[in-house]
Structure 1
Amino acid sequence: MNKVLVDVDVQRDFCEPSGALYVPGSPNDVFRALVARAVEARIPILGSVDSHAWDAWEFDSSEAHGPAGERPGFPDHCVKGTPGWLKVEGTLPRRFRFLPNVPDAPILPVVDEVLRGQTEGVYFEKEVYSMFANPLAERFLRALVDRMEAPPTFFVFGVATDYCVRAAALGLAERGHRTALVTDAIAGITPEGTARALEEMQSAGVRLTRAAEVLS
């Protein structure tokens, strides 16, 4: 086992045209193919899901401010339990767990489930761009890698390239993990932002690849 897939925010509000923050060109069929291959080949899937309450400070409809006084004014999106929060059809394996955005929770039993192939996907709830904003993520990845026979390559895909995908890939690379970006399984908000993000990720040591490397 030398591969781990990292599914970044493949949720209806981001990936479907009816979504509140749709990313044009979201390659949903490639997402489905990657997940299906991972399940077939027993490749672990980790991921992030944007999870907000109805009055999240990111929302234009909210009067709340972020930790540093932020008011980004995004449309309401990925409110937990709503249709837009759900993962795109065909991208959630049959056996999965969601890990809440909390400072402490038992993770080692879930790590062991992943290594035994019992749990096929583990998804970290988050409120901001980085998967590592969930305090369980770093501990989970460290424990997973320590228990694997050889250090894996983390194959990152999802949306949006210039925001949450960038944050996930850089977060992995900065923590010393071998990281590859699946370039035909991502989509960005703007061409300029996407180009900058790709350059930044490559400078940090992230390797660019295609879905065929995972699907072969």
Structure 2
Amino acid sequence: MFVKDILFWNVDTQFDFMSAFGKLYAQGAEQIQPVLGQLTTFAEKNNIQVVNTADFHYSNSKELSDTPNFITTFPAHCMANTSGAAYVKETNPKAPFSEVFWNINYSEKEIRNLITNRNIVIRKDAFDVFQGNKNTHAILKLIAPKKVFVYGVTTNVCVDCAVVGLAQRGISVYVIEDAIKELPNIPLPFSNWNTLKVKRIRFEDIEKYIN
């Protein structure tokens, strides 16, 4: 099985966010790609399970708008089954991996089967993975990690939702601060993370916190 009590949590490292050619580019996101690659390699070499979240929108998604305010609504991005929804090469999960779709309600037996793969892809239709895919809580409950290491994009939207959701469930959360990138015009969440006792660390120091 996988390393006990440890889980990596890769947030939305998809082309539309990570690439300057993407539809909702987080400026400078390509700068974190080398560290993202190191995290992927580290997880593979150390047999650490990885939850990979991914926006997977259809045209009627509530967060999509033709007149977005770039705070609660955004232009079309990461549309289902398009190249914009694909992961960048540094985080692209290797087969076999499990896919958990937001518009399917899985039984506990099905979820137990899904979490047997080291890489799990949770597709979501909202900023918050716990709201955007109702299966997320059950997956987390069955994996039952004590420490989760979070990285990806964007710091002040989807990463923040994941961090808060994990911390509120009593899990020790560590954010890899050289593997996150924010969107402009939205406040940064660091003060709230501090209140929740979320630790921000650099990848080079991760081994200190794994054990």
Name the TM-score, length of structure 2 as normaliser.
0.85
Cα deviation for residue 8 of structure 1 reads 0.6
1:43 and 2:48 equivalent?
A: yes
2:157 aligned counterpart, secondary structure: helix
Code of the residue aligned with 2:171 in structure 1: it is H
Note the residue ranges of structure 2 that are not aligned, 5 or more in a row.
none
1:53 and 2:58 equivalent?
A: yes
Q: After TM superposition, list the pairs within 5 Å mapping 1:168-183 onto structure 2.
A: 168-183=162-177
Structure 1 equivalent of residue 105 of structure 2:
104
For 2:182 and 2:139, locate their aligned partners in 1 and report how far apart those are by CA, in whole Å.
27
Tell me if the contact between 1:37 and 1:215 (Cα under 8 Å) persists in the aligned partners.
Answer: no
Cα deviation for residue 123 of structure 1 reads 1.7
For 2:17 and 2:88, locate their aligned partners in 1 and report how far apart those are by CA, in whole Å.
9
Cα deviation for residue 214 of structure 1 reads 3.4
Tell me if the contact between 1:50 and 1:126 (Cα under 8 Å) persists in the aligned partners.
Answer: yes
For 1:132 and 1:57, locate their aligned partners in 2 and report how far apart those are by CA, in whole Å.
16
Note the residue ranges of structure 1 that are not aligned, 5 or more in a row.
63-70, 146-150
Tell me if the contact between 2:98 and 2:114 (Cα under 8 Å) persists in the aligned partners.
Answer: no
Tell me if the contact between 1:92 and 1:121 (Cα under 8 Å) persists in the aligned partners.
Answer: no
What percentage of residue pairs aligned between the two structures are identical?
25
For 2:115 and 2:102, locate their aligned partners in 1 and report how far apart those are by CA, in whole Å.
19
In structure 2, the CA distance between the partners of 1:40 and 1:108, relative to structure 1 (3 Å rule), is: farther
Instruction: Name which of structure 1's ranges 99-108 and 130-139 shifts more when overlaid on structure 2.
Output: 99-108
1:16 and 2:16 equivalent?
A: no
For 1:129 and 1:21, locate their aligned partners in 2 and report how far apart those are by CA, in whole Å.
13
For 1:25 and 1:74, locate their aligned partners in 2 and report how far apart those are by CA, in whole Å.
19
For 1:215 and 1:89, locate their aligned partners in 2 and report how far apart those are by CA, in whole Å.
24
Tell me if the contact between 2:127 and 2:157 (Cα under 8 Å) persists in the aligned partners.
Answer: yes
Structure 2 equivalent of residue 199 of structure 1:
191
Cα deviation for residue 13 of structure 1 reads 0.3
For 2:114 and 2:161, locate their aligned partners in 1 and report how far apart those are by CA, in whole Å.
27
Q: After TM superposition, list the pairs within 5 Å mapping 1:76-95 onto structure 2.
A: 76-94=76-94, 95=96
Code of the residue aligned with 2:191 in structure 1: it is E
In structure 2, the CA distance between the partners of 1:140 and 1:76, relative to structure 1 (3 Å rule), is: same
For 2:171 and 2:104, locate their aligned partners in 1 and report how far apart those are by CA, in whole Å.
23
Cα deviation for residue 54 of structure 1 reads 2.8
- Listed one character per residue, the Cα deviations across residues 52-93 of structure 1 (whole Å, up to 9, x for unaligned) are 01343322249xxxxxxxx95521100011111101113122
For 2:99 and 2:194, locate their aligned partners in 1 and report how far apart those are by CA, in whole Å.
30
For 1:37 and 1:107, locate their aligned partners in 2 and report how far apart those are by CA, in whole Å.
30
Tell me if the contact between 2:114 and 2:120 (Cα under 8 Å) persists in the aligned partners.
Answer: no
Code of the residue aligned with 1:173 in structure 2: it is A
Name the TM-score, length of structure 1 as normaliser.
0.83
Instruction: Name which of structure 1's ranges 180-189 and 95-104 shifts more when overlaid on structure 2.
Output: 95-104
Structure 2 equivalent of residue 125 of structure 1:
123
For 2:8 and 2:146, locate their aligned partners in 1 and report how far apart those are by CA, in whole Å.
10
For 1:191 and 1:61, locate their aligned partners in 2 and report how far apart those are by CA, in whole Å.
19
Tell me if the contact between 2:106 and 2:135 (Cα under 8 Å) persists in the aligned partners.
Answer: yes
Correspondence for 2:28 among 16, 25, 28: 25
